[in-house]
Amino acid sequence: MNSTLLVEQAIWKTYVCIKETIMLENRNRKARPLLAIALAASMLAATACAGPSATNAGTAGKLAEGDWNAVVEAAKQEGSLTYYTNAAPEQNEPVIKAFNAQYPEITVNMVRGAAELDAKLDAEIAGNTDGADLVLITHRQWFEANVPNFVPVKDTLPNLANWPADAWSIDQVSPTASISPNGIIAWNTKLFPNGFKNWNDLLAPEVKGKVGLRDTVNTDVASYLQFQEDTNGPQFLPALAKQEPRFYTSMVPMAQSMAAGEIGVAAMSTPPTLVELKKQGAPIDWIIPNETHSLPFTMAMLKKTKHPNAASVYMNFVYSPEGQKALNGQQYGVSPLPGIPDTIDMTGKKSTLLDPKTMTPERTKEWAQKFREIFGR
């Protein structure tokens, strides 16, 4: 049955009661139509101010002929681009800001999502609808499955000509833009003043009921779980389950929850969110243990793009030293380019990188099942 029915009954009851008691019907008869018009006008005004949702009448999507300057000019004509990402908002905003400092004429629409992005992208690609021009996500499984839908960029974008050979997620098509460690222990300093040093500290008795984990096992999470099993032994995850963890659908709300004190420690997190929370004064701290797990953020341009020039200019920017500094600086991530200031220093740490060749869809499904068995979800 439908609860809209309930709401409808409630609203009618409220309407009738208010009408009978507060609005005595025979008064203010003349005022009523005016009031109605005023209300309607204000609603229309609100709609007009809000504006229509971002649908561009896509101009034909063709890359400009000629040299890079022609592409930049065509990009300015296109005027905007859209990219989908599951990177933390804090990490995306500096890049967009730095980009707009150089190219103020091009609007960048960033759409952030999590596990649901894959299905959305599939629907858009299948329907060839306008939407994403670029994607910057960690979902390697989806990437592997969609290689034919990406535009080869190695030869068209100047900054990729000398991109490190080992920093290509998919050759010719998708270079790694950032490496994001998610094997992080982040804690609330009010609840755990002594902090944590390594993974086994999570099994201490005082952590029970206060630790946070992700659920909705996709490839990223499955890879992390595999890393935990490989590094800390097959008993680690069941022991963690005995600590009665709380579950979150994404690392960002988990970090927020930890900062608010709802949980005391998060067993995985993402650097940009933590850096920002700390800047805002949240009582948190974190450590990247010596053995950690990382997700590569790779970017690709979709063949269906209606803004190939703007997308090319943006993608080229992301892989430039300025773009890398904006994306990975402030301790937000690790850059494949050497020598970018203020990025995360991983010297002395052993980081397992998500590898779609070993973490196949079948393995991910196995881990989803195993997760349910171990954690009872």
According to CB under 8 A, which residues from 228 to 287 bind another protein? 246-250, 252-253, 256, 259-262, 280, 282
By CB under 8 A, the residues from 44 to 103 that bind another protein are 46-47, 49-55, 82, 84
Tell me which of 197, 208, 279, 372 binds another protein, using CB under 8 A. Answer: 372
* Structure tokens given for 240: 């963690």
DSSP-assigned beta bridge partners for residue 284: 188
CB of 162 to another protein, least distance (A): 33
Of 33 and 339, nearer to another protein (C-beta) is 33
Q: At CA 376, angle to CA 371 and CA 377, rounded to 5?
A: 75
Residue of 123, 204, 238, 279 interacting with another protein (CB under 8 A)? 123
Encoding tokens for residue 353? 């990188």
Q: How far is the CB of 189 from another protein (least distance, A)?
A: 14
Least gap, CB of 318 to another protein (angstroms): 19
41 binds another protein, rule: CB under 8 A: no
CB 125 within 8 A of CB 149: yes
Q: Considering beta carbons, is residue 94 or 131 the nearer one to another protein?
A: 131
Q: Which is nearer to another protein, 64 or 136 (CB)?
A: 136
CB under 8 Å to 283, separation ≥6 — which residues?
188, 189, 190, 259
Least distance CB 139 / another protein (angstroms)? 8
Among 146, 176, 218, 309, binds another protein (CB under 8 A): 218
**290-303 b/e with 16+ CB inside 10 Å = b?**
ebbbbbbbbbbbbe
Q: 112, exposed or middle or buried, with CB in 10 Å at 0-12, 13-18, 19+?
A: middle
Query: How does strand 174-181 pair with strand 291-301?
Result: antiparallel
Of 198, 193, 144, 189, the closest CA to residue 170 belongs to: 144
Exactly one of 76, 103, 122, 195 binds another protein (CB under 8 A); that residue is 122
Q: How far is the CB of 78 from another protein (least distance, A)?
A: 17
Q: Is 142 in the site for another protein (CB under 8 A)?
A: yes
Q: Residue 277: phi, psi to the nearest 5?
A: -60, -40
CB of 54 to another protein, least distance (A): 6
* 91, 92, 138, 141: residue in contact with another protein (rule CB under 8 A): 141
Dmax over CA atoms of the chain, in Å, equals 82
**Of 58, 103, 112, 285, the one binding another protein by CB under 8 A:** 112
Q: Which is nearer to another protein, 12 or 105 (CB)?
A: 12
CB of 112 to another protein, least distance (A): 8
Helix (H, G, I), strand (E, B) or coil at 376: coil
